[in-house]
Structure 1
C-alpha cells in the first residue's frame, strides 16, 4: 500500500503531465486564462484543471517561530521551494525578490521556503550575497511541507489562490520578474 504522501506525489505528477500541454474544454475560466498565458518564461508552467488544497504543515522563520500557509489565506501566493546549495536558486532568488518588491501587498505575496538542511546562517549569507531584501527567511528543515506538496527537486514554484489551493506549478528556475510571470500573477490576483 502506498503512503499518503507518495500517493499525493503520484497523483500530482500525473495531473501535471496530463495538463502540461493543454486543458480540456471543461477547464475553469482561471485555468484557461493561465494556460493562455503560458509563454516565454512561463512556457513550462503547469496549470491545474482542478485546484489542489495546500496542506497546512508548519515551517519556521529565522527566529524559530512556527508558521503555516493558512496565514496567507486571502492572498494569492507564489510559494517557492529552494535551497542554499541549489545553483538555479541563485539566479531565481533575486528575481523573486524583485517580484515581491514590486507586487507584494494585501492581494499578493512571495513566500520562499528553504527546504532541507539550510541553517539560518547559510540562508542569511545566501540572501546577502544575492541582494535579497524583500523576502522572509522561512525554512522547512524536516521537508514536511515540501513532501506534502509533492516537491521532488528544487527549485519549485507553486501558485496558490486566495483560498489556499494550488492553481499552477513551475518546476525549475524562472525569471519571476519577467512580463510573462507578472501577467500570470496579475491574472490570478484578478480572480
Structure 2
C-alpha cells in the first residue's frame, strides 16, 4: 500500500510534467508573436522615398496611359526616388552633373559605340532633341566608352547627329551609380527625370524616341514643369 505522501508526490510530478509542454508552447507562441510584431514594424519602417519626389510619382501616374506603342516598355515610377547626382563631362572636358539641369525635365540616356542597339537608337534621340529641346526639356545622352575618347565623337559626326549635346564618362561610373539603385541593367538605359532630379520613368533597351507616341508622352511629362517656371 502506497504511503499518502508518496501518492501526493506522484500527483505533483505528473502535474509538473504536463505544465512543461504548455510552458514551451507559450514561449514559442510568444516568440512568434514577438517576431511577427517586429517584422510588421520593420515593414512599416520601410523606406518611404524622398518626399521631394512625390510630384514625380504623380507625373508618372498621370502619363502612364500614354506609355504604349513605341514607348510601351517604359516602367513608371511608383515610389519617390531621387537619382544620384550623376557626374560626367561635356564636349570640352568640363565637369557636369545631373543637378546642372535642375528646372528641366531631362531624358538621361546611357550609350556606347560597342552597343549596337545604342547606335541604332541615337537618331531617334537626335529627333527628340530636335523637336522638343528648349528651356523645359533636354536629352542628356552620356557616352560610356572607356577606351578611345574620339570614337564616339567620330560616330556622331559621321552619322550627322549634331543636335545632341556630347557628354561622356570614360570611367562608366554613371552606369554603376544607376545600377546601384536598380535603374541600369543593360545598355542602352534611359531615365526620364523631373526638374527636381526625381525618376518619372525608366526603360531598359532602345525606344523610338522621335515617334508620335514618345513625343506625346514627353510633352505630357514636361507640361507641369513648364507651368511652374
Query: Corresponding residue for 1:78?
Result: 107
Query: Corresponding residue for 1:175?
Result: 208
Deviation at 1:63, TM superposition (A): 2.2
Deviation at 1:116, TM superposition (A): 4.0
What are structure 2's unaligned runs of at least 5 residues?
Answer: 1-55, 225-229
Query: Corresponding residue for 1:153?
Result: 186
Query: Corresponding residue for 1:20?
Result: none
Whether contact under 8 Å (1:113, 1:137) holds in the other structure is: yes
Structure with the larger strand share: 1
1:50 to 68, 79, 82: 79
Deviation at 1:28, TM superposition (A): 4.7
Deviation at 1:65, TM superposition (A): 1.0
Query: Equivalences for 1:21-32 in 2 at 5 Å?
Result: 28-32=57-61
Which digits, 9 at most, give the CA deviation of each residue in 1:94-144, with x for residues without a partner? 110111111110000000001241533101111022220111111111122
Q: Moved runs in structure 1, 4+ residues, more than 3 A?
A: none
State the Cα RMSD in Å.
1.6
Which digits, 9 at most, give the CA deviation of each residue in 1:2-43, with x for residues without a partner? xxxxxxxxxxxxxxxxxxxxxxxxx95422222211110111
Whether contact under 8 Å (1:90, 1:130) holds in the other structure is: no
Whether contact under 8 Å (1:62, 1:120) holds in the other structure is: no
- Greater relative contact order (CA < 8 Å, ≥ 6 in sequence): 1
Deviation at 1:184, TM superposition (A): 1.3
Deviation at 1:153, TM superposition (A): 1.2
Moved more, 95-104 or 119-128: 119-128
Check 1:141–1:28 CA distance in 2 against 1; reply closer, same or farther (3 A cut).
closer
Q: Rg: which structure is higher?
A: 2
1:132 to 128, 153, 161: 161
Query: Corresponding residue for 2:63?
Result: 34
Query: Corresponding residue for 1:188?
Result: 221
Alpha-carbon separation, structure 1, partners of 2:118 and 2:155: 10
**Aligned residue-pair number:** 165
Q: TM-score, normalised by structure 2?
A: 0.68
